[in-house]
C-alpha cells in the first residue's frame, strides 16, 4: 500500500493586486487531491529564478525521504523558471517515483507527451523571464544616457532631492552641509606634485572624515577623486574622456563648465571602470559641479600615471606617447627599438599594420623629445611675456571657437579611422576631406591661440615653469602631466614637427 501523500506547493515573489495569492493557488491544488491526504509548502517573497527557497528545499528533502507521491502546483512557473533547475527536478521526481501536476496547464508527467509538453512550456517560461530582464536593462541604459540618477547612495558631498526630468520623476544631487568643502580640500591637496593617496588618506583619517560606512582607505579616496560627478565639465573634460574611448552622450557645446557628470559602465563593457574607461557612458548631470576642470584634470592625470592607481594602460617608453601623430596620416607614432634596444625610434602605427601610409620617415625618439622640450620652454617664455602673469574671465568667443575646433577634430578622427583597409576610391575621398578639415582646424587653432595667451592662472603658469626649469630631474609621470597641460597634439615626420598648443 502506498502511504505517500500529495505535496501542494505555492510561491509568490511579490504581493501585487494582479498576482494570484498563495491561498488561491492552494485552493486550486486541493481540487487535484480529490479529498486525499496532502501537505502544503509555501514560499512568499521568493523568486522562481533559482531553488534557494526554504519550503521548497524542505519539499525536496521529503521527496528524498520517500514521503511524497505527487507534487501539485497552480502553474509550472510557481516551482521553477530555470530550464536547468527544472530538468534536475524532473530527474529527481522520476528517480523517486514522484509525479508532477500543474493545475491550470493540465500536465501529466506519467506520459511521454506530458513530459515533452512540460519541457517546452518551461522553455517559454524562462524566455519570458529573460525578456523581462532585457527590458529592465534597456530601460536602465535609456535612463542613464538621459542624465537620470540611477540608484545607489549619493556621492560624498551631496544629498539627493526629488526632481522631474523630461516629465519623469528622478533625483538631483545637491550640496550636503560642509562636505563639499572637504571634497575641495581633497582635490587641492592631491594636485600638489609631492602629495600621495596615502598622505591624503592619513590626513582625512586624522580629521575623522567618513567617506563611506567603512574605514577610510586609499581605494575610497581614489574612487572619489576619479568621480566626474564633482567636476565642472568643460571642453577639456570632454576631450579627456573622449581620449579614453568613452561614449559621450551630450554634444560638445553642452560642456560649458557648469554641470557635473555621471559615468556609467557600458552594457557591452568587458571590465570595470576601474580597469578601463573604454565603452563607458558619460552624460552631463542636472547638478552643478564643485571642482574646477583644471584641478580635477590635474588630479586625474596624476592618478592615471600613478603606479599605485592606474585604470588604463600607461605609456612606458616615451613621455610624448598619446600626443605624437604621424604628419602624413594622423595615426599615432609608436615606440620601436633596434639592436636590442640600443636605438629607439618612432614609427607610424598605420604603416606598421598595413603599409597604407607612406610613413613618417626616420624619427629618433630621444631627438624628438629634446626638440619638443626646447619648444615647450620657448613657448612658455613667450606665454609669460604676453600674459604678464595675469588671468582673466572666460571669453565666450573663445569657448565658441573651442567648440567648433572640437567638432572639426572629431570629424577628422572619424575620417582617419576609415583609412585603415580602405579602397583607393574611399582613400582618395577621405584624404581630400581631411585636407579641407585640416585647413579649417589650422585657422581655428590660430584664432584660439590668439585668445588663450592669458587663459592659465598664475599658479598654473608657475607650476609648469618650475617643472621646465629642472626638466632632467622631473619624473617620467610628471613630464607627461606637463606635456598634457601645454600640448594638444604633435604632428611629426622626419622633415617637420608641428606642435599644437593648448595654451
Residue 102: CATH number of its domain: 3.40.50.1390
Note whether residue 73 is domain-resident.
yes
Note whether residue 313 is domain-resident.
no
Residue 161's DSSP bridge partners are 172
> Which pLDDT does position 422 carry in this prediction?
56
Residue percentage of the chain with pLDDT more than 70 = 75
Do 17 and 118 sit in the same domain of this protein? Answer: yes
Q: Which of 304, 333, 365 is the last residue of a domain?
A: 304
User: Is the pTM for the entire model greater than 0.85?
Assistant: no
Q: How confident is the model at residue 7 (pLDDT cuts 50, 70, 90)?
A: very high
Q: Are strands 99-102 and 68-73 parallel, antiparallel or unpaired?
A: parallel
Q: Which of 142, 176, 196 is the last residue of a domain?
A: 142
> Which pLDDT does position 151 carry in this prediction?
66
Do 399 and 480 sit in the same domain of this protein? Answer: yes
Do 348 and 475 sit in the same domain of this protein? Answer: yes
CATH code of residue 199: 3.90.1750
DSSP 335-379: EEEETTTTEEEEEEHHHHHHS-S-----EEHHHHHHHHHHHHHHH
Note whether residue 271 is domain-resident.
yes
The SS3 of residue 216 is: coil
Do 163 and 138 sit in the same domain of this protein? Answer: no
Residue span of the structural domain in which 459 resides: 324-501
CA distances from 353 to 332, 333, 419 (A): 12, 12, 12
Averaged pLDDT, 174-191? 92
Grid cell listed for 446: 590660430
261 vs 139: which has the higher pLDDT: 261
pLDDT in tens, 124-133: 666 766 777 7
- For residue 186, pLDDT over 90 is answered with yes
pLDDT in tens, 351-397: 775 566 788 889 999 999 999 999 988 888 876 664 444 444 455 67
Note whether residue 311 is domain-resident.
no
Cβ-contact 249, 283 below 8 angstroms: yes
Note whether residue 460 is domain-resident.
yes
Do 108 and 64 sit in the same domain of this protein? Answer: yes
Do 126 and 180 sit in the same domain of this protein? Answer: no
Do 406 and 268 sit in the same domain of this protein? Answer: no
> Which pLDDT does position 317 carry in this prediction?
83
Do 112 and 163 sit in the same domain of this protein? Answer: no
- For residue 248, pLDDT over 80 is answered with yes
Q: How confident is the model at residue 312 (pLDDT cuts 50, 70, 90)?
A: very low
- Tell me the backbone φ, ψ of residue 162, rounded to 5 degrees: -65, 150
> Which pLDDT does position 420 carry in this prediction?
55
The count of domains in the chain is 3
pLDDT in tens, 265-307: 876 655 555 567 877 888 898 899 999 999 999 999 888 776 4
Grid cell listed for 118: 512540460
> Which pLDDT does position 309 carry in this prediction?
44
Note whether residue 148 is domain-resident.
no
333 vs 170: which has the higher pLDDT: 333
Do 247 and 165 sit in the same domain of this protein? Answer: yes
Q: How confident is the model at residue 86 (pLDDT cuts 50, 70, 90)?
A: confident
Note whether residue 317 is domain-resident.
no
Do 481 and 335 sit in the same domain of this protein? Answer: yes
To the nearest whole number, what is the mean pLDDT of the chain? 79
Note whether residue 314 is domain-resident.
no
Cβ-contact 431, 482 below 8 angstroms: no
In sign, the C-alpha dihedral spanning 367, 370, 373, 374 is: negative
Amino acid at each position: 500500500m502506498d502511504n505517500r501523500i500529495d505535496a501542494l506547493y505555492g510561491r509568490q515573489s511579490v504581493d501585487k493586486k494582479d498576482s494570484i495569492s498563495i491561498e488561491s493557488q492552494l485552493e486550486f491544488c486541493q481540487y487535484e487531491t480529490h479529498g486525499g491526504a496532502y501537505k502544503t509548502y509555501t514560499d512568499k517573497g521568493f523568486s522562481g529564478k533559482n531553488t534557494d527557497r526554504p519550503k521548497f528545499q524542505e519539499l525536496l528533502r521529503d521527496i528524498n525521504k520517500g514521503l511524497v507521491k505527487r507534487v501539485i502546483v497552480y502553474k509550472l512557473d510557481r516551482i521553477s523558471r530555470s530550464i536547468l533547475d527544472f530538468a534536475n527536478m524532473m530527474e529527481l521526481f522520476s528517480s523517486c517515483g514522484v509525479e508532477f501536476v500543474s493545475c491550470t496547464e493540465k500536465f501529466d508527467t506519467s506520459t511521454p507527451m506530458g513530459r515533452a509538453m512540460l519541457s517546452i512550456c518551461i522553455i517559454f517560461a524562462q524566455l519570458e523571464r529573460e525578456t523581462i530582464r532585457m527590458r529592465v536593462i534597456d530601460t536602465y541604459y535609456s535612463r542613464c544616457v538621459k542624465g537620470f540618477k540611477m540608484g545607489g547612495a549619493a556621492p560624498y558631498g551631496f544629498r539627493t532631492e526629488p526632481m522631474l526630468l523630461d516629465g519623469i520623476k528622478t533625483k538631483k544631487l545637491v550640496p550636503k552641509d560642509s562636505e563639499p568643502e572637504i571634497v575641495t580640500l581633497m582635490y587641492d591637496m592631491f594636485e600638489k606634485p609631492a602629495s600621495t593617496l596615502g598622505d591624503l588618506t592619513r590626513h582625512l583619517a586624522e580629521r575623522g572624515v567618513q567617506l563611506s560606512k567603512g574605514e577610510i582607505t586609499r581605494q575610497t579616496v581614489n574612487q572619489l577623486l576619479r568621480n566626474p560627478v564633482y567636476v565642472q565639465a568643460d571642453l577639456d573634460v570632454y576631450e579627456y574622456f573622449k581620449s579614453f574611448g568613452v561614449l559621450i552622450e551630450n554634444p560638445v557645446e553642452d560642456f560649458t563648465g557648469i554641470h557635473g557628470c555621471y559615468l556609467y559602465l557600458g552594457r557591452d563593457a568587458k571590465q570595470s571602470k576601474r580597469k578601463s574607461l573604454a565603452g563607458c557612458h558619460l552624460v552631463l548631470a542636472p547638478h552643478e559641479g564643485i571642482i574646477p576642470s583644471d584641478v580635477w584634470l590635474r588630479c586625474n592625470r596624476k592618478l592615471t600615471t600613478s603606479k599605485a592607481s592606474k585604470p588604463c594602460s600607461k605609456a612606458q617608453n616615451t613621455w610624448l606617447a598619446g600626443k605624437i601623430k604621424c604628419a602624413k596620416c594622423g595615426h599615432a607614432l609608436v615606440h620601436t627599438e633596434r639592436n636590442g634596444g640600443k636605438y629607439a625610434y618612432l614609427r607610424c602605427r598605420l604603416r606598421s599594420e598595413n603599409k597604407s601610409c607612406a610613413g613618417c620617415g626616420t624619427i629618433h625618439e630621444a631627438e624628438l623629445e629634446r626638440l619638443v622640450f626646447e619648444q615647450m620652454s620657448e613657448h612658455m617664455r613667450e606665454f609669460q611675456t604676453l600674459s604678464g602673469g595675469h588671468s582673466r574671465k572666460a571669453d565666450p568667443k573663445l569657448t565658441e571657437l573651442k567648440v567648433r575646433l572640437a567638432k572639426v577634430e572629431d570629424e577628422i578622427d572619424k575620417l582617419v579611422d576609415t583609412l585603415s583597409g580602405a579602397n583607393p576610391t574611399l582613400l582618395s575621398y577621405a584624404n581630400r576631406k581631411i585636407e579641407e578639415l585640416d585647413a579649417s582646424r589650422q585657422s581655428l587653432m590660430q584664432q584660439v591661440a590668439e585668445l588663450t595667451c592669458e587663459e592659465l592662472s598664475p599658479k598654473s603658469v608657475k607650476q609648469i615653469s618650475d617643472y621646465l626649469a629642472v626638466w632632467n630631474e622631473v619624473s617620467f609621470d610628471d613630464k607627461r602631466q606637463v606635456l598634457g597641460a601645454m600640448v594638444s597634439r604633435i604632428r611629426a615626420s622626419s622633415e617637420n614637427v608641428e606642435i599644437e598648443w593648448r595654451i
